């Protein structure tokens, strides 16, 4: 582990190989973790398909991991864990470069989730993410249905 509690980005990146080995193998890295706002990136190299574009499952992954990341960055990871219930992904343009996925929750939504996430409670939330290439081209948009699940029901 190269990260510390003072550097949550380094800490989460160092742990990703244990948390989600498949995502780590793709080269997914978090680049921003702030309460209510997260960002991750994935390289082009190794992730292309036979058309020379980043494979759909990689685009899905760099966006989907933001659900766990925003939980880690925003909510109480000692009482709840995040579960993905469903994702809609729209592929807008081919990904031909490193991709960056960004997602955020409004202050009001963060406050709602925090208020509802009492011990034992399941709390649903929706996270929209946008995936862009190096030149800013939107490659994909996702809408994920997540749920905070209590460690002890």
Choices 33-41, 82-90, 106-114, 122-130; region in contact with its own copies by CB under 8 A:
82-90
- CB of residue 111 vs its own copies: minimum separation in angstroms? 27
Residue selected from 89, 112, 121, 128 as contacting its own copies according to rule CB under 8 A = 89
Residue selected from 41, 61, 100, 102 as contacting its own copies according to rule CB under 8 A = 61
Residue selected from 9, 11, 12, 23 as contacting its own copies according to rule CB under 8 A = 23
- CB of residue 56 vs its own copies: minimum separation in angstroms? 5
Binding residues with its own copies: total (CB under 8 A): 30
Residues 106-145 that bind its own copies (CB under 8 A): none
Pair 57, 104: CB distance under 8 Å: no
Residue ranges that bind its own copies, judged by CB under 8 A: 18-23, 25-26, 46-51, 55-58, 60-61, 64, 81, 84-91
């Amino acid at each position: 582990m190269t990260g510390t509690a003072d550097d949550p980005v380094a800490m989460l990146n160092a742990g990703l190989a244990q948390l989600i080995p498949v995502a780590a193998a793709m080269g997914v890295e978090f680049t921003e973790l702030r309460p209510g706002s997260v960002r991750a990136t994935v390289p082009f190299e190794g992730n292309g398909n036979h058309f020379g574009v980043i494979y759909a499952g990689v685009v899905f992954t760099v966006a989907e991991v933001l659900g766990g990341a925003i939980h880690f960055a925003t909510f109480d990871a000692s009482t709840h864990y995040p579960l993905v219930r469903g994702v809609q992904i729209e592929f807008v343009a081919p990904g031909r470069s490193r991709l960056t996925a960004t997602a955020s929750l409004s202050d009001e939504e963060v406050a709602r989730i925090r208020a509802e996430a009492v011990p034992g409670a399941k709390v649903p939330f929706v996270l929209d993410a946008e995936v862009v290439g190096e030149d800013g081209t939107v490659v994909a948009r996702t809408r994920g249905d997540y749920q905070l699940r209590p460690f002890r029901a």
